[in-house]
Chain A
Amino acid sequence: MTSGPVMLEVDDLAVDFSTPSGALRAVDGVSLELAEGESFAIVGESGSGKSVFSRTLMNLLAGNGTRSGSIKIGGRDIDQLSKAERKHFFGVEVAMVFQDPMTSLNPVKRIDAQLTEAMRYHLDISKSEARERAIALLKQVHIPSPEQRLRQYPHELSGGMRQRVVIAMALACEPRLLIADEPTTALDVTVQKAILDLLDELRRERNMSMILITHDLGVARGRADRIGVMYAGRLQEVATTEALFSEMRHPYTQALLQSIPNPALRSHTRLQPIPGRPPNLLEPPLGCAFAARCRHAQPDCLNAKPSLAGASGADDEHRWACFHPVGTEAGEVALRANIDAGKNAAGLDMSEVVGELV
């Protein structure tokens, strides 16, 4: 389904947390394949499990979490790594850029110390070599006068500059897979564009694979080859960016897109919110997690979880997890039936969800 050598292979990944109020499954059966040089965006709202998923790839699971399923990065199963290999695997082969550049930098250390620390640890190079590499890295992330910047503290840099430093740190050991977890959420739109442009450029230059985690479909749209939409710990739809926007199949993807103000529409255009709230994962629903908020939901949606599959099976490039997908006959029939009944199978009043469709 993907071209080129496989960079990342995730098979049936599940992450469970034991919390004081009970067991919680944050990631539920996610399978994913990523080619070398490919950029994949995971889009979801808060609590959808997208950050837990990305942290799990970095082996950064919290102490009360357990993982099942396999993760292969660059062909190597991370469970098979020896202790010594593991030490120089995370942060080297796969690196991460976090959301908030202020809290991911140490406020009492200068930029050079933070930038060279990982290189010295992982790559066994001398101090002066590390410094040269640091300067080269800052140039690559387009920081002007890098020699001076190296001597500064994080608070002396603007938010955009700090995020560039964080990206430089992530790139220091030349990772083959970069995970960017909401890299621009804390930044202004103009700076956001510059940072996303930078990530794009670096990915192409280095033929690096990238996973971009974002809550913003717009950000994903311009930047990813493929997009996975996540909800309640499961991938609900996976498609090439183009296909996702032109022929979306999952009602959640559709609802998500419709709830965003579109600057191409006139002002005061009524927005179409998603009614209700995501399910409580401490007491997950038996069936599809989106059914309670879905305008297509039928009785079968409440009893079984649909699996992620395409029109001709689980190997399609475009896959969705829905019994009554948008843009298909089954979906149309379900929607009609719900509109006629006035409510969906979960009892949701259809007047809340149909809006301009009726």
Chain B
Amino acid sequence: MAGSGTAHLRDDSLLRVEHMVVEFPIGGGGKVHAVSDVSFDLVEGETLGIVGESGCGKSTTAKATIQLPRPTSGNVWFKGRDLTTLGDEELRKVRPEFQMIFQDPISSLNPRRTVNEIISEGLRVWGDNETWTIERIDELMEAVGIDPRFGERKPHQFSGGQCQRISIARALVLDPKVIICDEPVSALDVSVQAQILNLLEDMKERYHVSLLFISHDLSVVKNISDRVMVMYMGKVCEVAPSDTLFAEPAHHYTRALMAAIPGAEVTVEDQTLEGELPSAIDPPAGCRFNTRCPAATDECRSVEPELRQVGDNHFVACHHPVSVSVA
């Protein structure tokens, strides 16, 4: 990929990010091109998975969407408003609609607070003091599978999986529209990972939220996502419904990622990515994947590919995509 373009955006989206660019200045006048012209959207009740290697900009993309930090350029449309143009106070009022769940469940909870305090903090900041009660907290704890009797305990009295459940309850308490899950199961054992993934699916149904699910683990992303976006060096490679992407990966980078899934019976040829990730300070011209791509041509080294449709809701940013057998 390494592509831009907005061909894949839909009209009925809840959240729509257009041409987002995030750059971080470094000494000497250079800058790190963390996210370069990324567009995506999210419809209500959908889970969009974002995969890519570390440093590809997947976390930065999600964080810049909620204006933490504000993107260098681009628009983020949510409920008819462009978040990038909102002032601080207006933005503060929109924030409860977005919540986050982080990778390390234990360090993302305040060790000195009780579980009740942690979960109810959002309500204390945002709710009318009349409308929330301890029953609301109990109901949420019940929903995420923590015994409400443990409300007065502190995070260190729980295991990693339980802490992640508490994080999920905290994220749900304000009835958000979108939850950003940044590698929420990467720090957990496989048996617990399955519990948390199932819980996220249940909570999505029950509380009607959309998820932006970031992970480096393709199997996890496939399981939980409706659609998957593959990123490489701050660009979008491929966007497709989860099953389509895994059945017919069209981008050479997507195929390399799949070939790397350990022990899985996958449909792609065996290949190992040669070389190292190029520098994000001075990314390659043309398609950013051209330095490691088995199919790179001169065109790839000079012209950046745009996202284009190759199948049902299947978009790829590549000049020479692997032909999809059924279209």
Contact = CB atoms under 8 A, between A and B. Distances in A.
Interface in A294-340: none
Contacts, number: 118
B264 interface: yes
A264 B194 contact: no
Contact of A219 (B159, B161, B263, B265): B263
B192 A273 contact: yes
A267 B190 CA distance: 18
Contacts of B264: 218, 262-264
Interface in A255-310: 255-256, 259-275, 277
Interface in B247-288: 256-266, 272-273, 276-277
Tell me which of B191, B218, B264 has the highest count of chain A C-beta atoms within 10 A of its own C-beta: B191
A145 to B, nearest CB: 12
Contacts of B242: 267
A222 B54 CA distance: 24
B241 to A, nearest CB: 8
A224 to B, nearest CB: 10
A262 B197 CA distance: 13
B220 interface: yes
B272 A194 contact: yes
A9 B273 CA distance: 38
B84 to A, nearest CB: 31
B190 A256 contact: yes
A197 interface: yes
Contact of B222 (A161, A256, A261): A261
A125 B74 CA distance: 61
Nearest to B246: A263
A273 B243 contact: no
Given A190-B53, A194-B273, A222 B190 contact: no
A300 B273 CA distance: 51
Nearest to A43: B190
Contact of A190 (B194, B226, B243, B256): B256
Contacts of A219: 262-263
Interface in A186-205: 188-194, 196-197
Given A189-B216, A190-B257, A218 B194 contact: no
A221 B216 CA distance: 20
Contact of B201 (A158, A188, A268): A268
B195 A273 contact: yes
Tell me which of A190, A215, A274 has the highest count of chain B C-beta atoms within 10 A of its own C-beta: A190
B223 interface: yes
B302 interface: no
Nearest to A45: B189
A262 B218 CA distance: 10
A65 interface: no
B194 A272 contact: yes
Closest 3 A-B residue pairs measured CB to CB? Answer: A218-B263, A221-B263, A273-B194
Interface of B: 53-54, 159, 161, 189-195, 197-198, 201, 216-220, 222-226, 241-243, 246, 256-266, 272-273, 276-277
